[in-house]
Amino acid sequence: MKKVGKVALWVSIFSTLFMGCYSSAMIDPKGDEKEKIYSGKIASVVTKDGTKYEFDKAPTIVNDTIVGEGKVSTEAGFITKQVSIPLSDVVKVNVKEFDLGKTIWGGVAIVGVAGTIMLAIYLRHHRF
């Protein structure tokens, strides 16, 4: 195997493992899964008045209030501002959590594709 092929294979494997794959789930803050709000990464929330706040950096929860820098959609586009949203005003929370299963299957798929490409290159240069 050529050095370039080995490098490509290892870069694919490590980038998959370090980046990982995430699952997204909408959670009712008053429902059975409300503990995920505290353990997961909050990606966005929708309040009772229909406003949707999106977060690039996960906000924190202080005294039952979501505190962080949120993006809000306006007619002119998105504006980013510091927000403080009481959980009592929130109707939906979208959390992103690390998904080990997706990460493993993603790594297997990348290794499989890289292996198939390397096998095809090998067979092309070593005809029997």
The DSSP element (H or E) to which 12 belongs, if any, is helix 3-19
Confidence of residue 85 (pLDDT cuts 50, 70, 90): very high
Residues in the chain: 128
Range 69-95 average pLDDT: 87
Helix axes 3-19, 100-125, angle to 10 degrees: 170
| Cα 11 → chain centroid | 20
Rounded CA-CA distance 68/18 in Å is 26
**Greater pLDDT, 126 or 25:** 126
Q: Considering the domain 23-97 in this protein, what is its CATH number?
A: 2.30.30
Residue 16 has pLDDT above 70, yes or no: no
Query: pTM for the whole thing?
Result: 0.57
pLDDT digits (tens, 9 = 90+) for 49-70: 999 999 988 888 888 889 999 9
What is the DSSP annotation of 60-128? EEETTEEEEEEEEEETTEEEEEEEEEEGGGEEEEEEEEE-HHHHHHHHHHHHHHHHHHHHHHHHHHS--
Residue 104 has pLDDT above 80, yes or no: no
Rounded CA-CA distance 56/8 in Å is 30
Map out the domains of the chain as residue ranges.
1-21+99-128, 23-97
